[in-house]
Amino acid sequence: MKPVELKKDIWWVGCVDWNRRNFHGYSLSPLGTTYNNYLIVDEKVTLVDTVDKSFWSRLKCNLAQVLGDRKIDYFVINHLEPDHAGCLAEAVAYYKPEKIYTSPMGEKAMQAHFHYKDWPVEVVPTGTEVSIGRHTLNFVETRMLHWPDSMATYVPEAKLMFTNDAFGQNIASSERFADEYDRHVLEQSMRHYYANIVLPYSPVVLKTLAAIEDMGIEIDTVCPDHGLIFRGDDVAWVIEKYKEYAEQKPKNKAVIVYDSMWHSTEHMAEAVAAGLADKGVSVKIMSVKADHHSTIMTEIFDAAAVVVGSPTHNNGILPLMADMLTYMKGLRPMNKLGAAIGSFGWSGECVKILNGWLEDMKMEVVEPNLKVKHVPTHDDYQQCYDLGVSLAERIKEKIG
């Protein structure tokens, strides 16, 4: 895609990665992604972030299309993760910038990534202002949103904020603005991105949004480093969405995530789901064999209850379920009810182990935990159904 002028002299010079399906090795990106970066053409030509290293030659081409032979004076590095700063070493060698601005933690991360000796790095803590001519750069540290070095850059004259990973979505598209794109798909992608990347830092999101509100600045364009750019009314919309995500208010929804060897746990899951559904709770049954952990996490994210199921396997639980639980715990979902089910052959540790995970995640465990030897009987199914019914009642209490 060719560079796009977002506002006078402020350009999107990013790259669209139509083929990316695996995002950073832990999440899926079924629609591809973009590596957005931006160029401000002013007295001091300023490049905000770079792109994934594999797109270095395309970035050079994009920049040449806007700049011709003009040089780049300043780099702003809002985050050091390699999908943004991946070709920084090449870019520094090629453009020989006068200054590289980054956050205090960014300087440490930059050194640890690139082991440079003589780069012109200047640390810009929150509140630092740099004039580049007709535009000013205001830097705002956004630590742990989602890495320690994360930073945003606000340009008051353009009412525009470069937010790096915050507000991003993995979408490859020919469109650059959110208002040009299918709203439902956009929202689903934002939710997937938040649930799998930003979720553990939700308290930081709320604090950062409040801090930005306190700054009393006008923002009419939000430029994230992945996906579509928000302008006009969409700015308030996306900020509101982030608040909603960060508050993690549970919905009238339950997710049953399970693994099964010979279908007993699977059938138990279906009986629990029937109890939940009969009491008016929207329920999703997700097998860890059928769905990737990031897809499951996107569903768990706004659910009020999570039922985890696994048979006992070698005195433990099945490996894909262990993968799911490790992943889920790391993302620190909040405000959820939990319950555990599973079948067993000779020893039956599964439910105890699953319960341990639920407690580690500070979920309110709803009893009884159900375990069944070999194949469930009619009475076992009845108990599973009843667990679904009592979970539904607790969900109703929880969401009010």
Instruction: Give me the residues that bind another protein (CB under 8 A), please.
Output: 105, 143-144, 148, 201, 203-204, 362
List all residues 6 or more positions away from 311 whose beta carbon is below 8 Å from its beta carbon: 259, 260, 261, 262, 264, 265, 317, 318, 342, 343, 344, 345, 350
Q: Which is nearer to another protein, 148 or 348 (CB)?
A: 148
Task: Let me know if 278 is a catalytic residue.
Answer: no
Concerning whether 83 is annotated as a catalytic residue, the answer is yes
Distance, CA of 14 to CA of 185 (rounded, Å): 21
Q: How far is the CB of 211 from another protein (least distance, A)?
A: 12
Residue given tokens 């490790």 in the structure block: 326
Q: For residues 209 and 21, give the distance between their C-alpha atoms in angstroms, rounded to a whole number.
A: 30
| Residue 135 is a catalytic residue | no
What minimum distance in Å lies between the beta carbon of 332 and another protein? 9
Tell me how far apart the terminal alpha carbons of the chain are, to the nearest angstrom. 48
Residue number with CB closer to another protein (185 or 365): 365
Q: In what order do the strands lie in the sheet with 99-102?
A: 4-7, 10-12, 38-40, 46-48, 74-77, 99-102, 121-123
Q: Which residues pair with 340 in a beta bridge?
A: 308
Pick 105 or 199: Cβ nearer another protein: 105
Spatial contact of 305 and 333, defined as CB atoms under 8 Å apart: no
Is 184 catalytic? The answer is no
Of 105 and 337, CB closest to another protein = 105
- Annotated active-site residue 84? The verdict is no
CB of 169 to another protein, least distance (A): 24
The least distance separating another protein from the CB of residue 28, rounded to whole angstroms, comes to: 24
Catalytic residue among 42, 49, 165, 225: 165
**Burial environment of residue 240 by CB neighbours within 10 A (0 to 12, 13 to 18, 19 or more):** exposed
Of 84, 135, 146, 293, catalytic = 146
CA dist., res. 330 & res. 200, Å (int): 7
| Least distance in angstroms from the C-beta of 144 to another protein | 4
- 150 — phi, psi (to 5°)? -60, 140
- In 3D space, the residue among 222, 115, 242 whose CA is nearest the CA of residue 177 turns out to be 222
Number of residues that this document lists for the chain: 400
Instruction: Check 84, 135, 226, 293 and give the catalytic one.
Output: 226
**Helix (H/G/I), strand (E/B), else coil: 391:** helix
* Active-site residue identified among 73, 79, 135, 242: 79
Least distance to another protein from the beta carbon of 215, Å? 18
CB of 119 closer than 8 Å to CB of 106: no
Quick check: 84 and 78 in contact, CB under 8 A?
A: yes
380 is catalytic: no
> Between residues 283 and 331, which has the closer beta carbon with respect to another protein?
331
What is the rounded distance in angstroms from the CA atom of residue 125 to the CA atom of residue 174? 35
Which CB atom, from 144 or from 158, has the smaller least distance to another protein?
A: 144
Minimum CB–partner distance for residue 65 and another protein (Å): 39
Active site residues: 24, 79, 81, 83, 146, 165, 193, 226
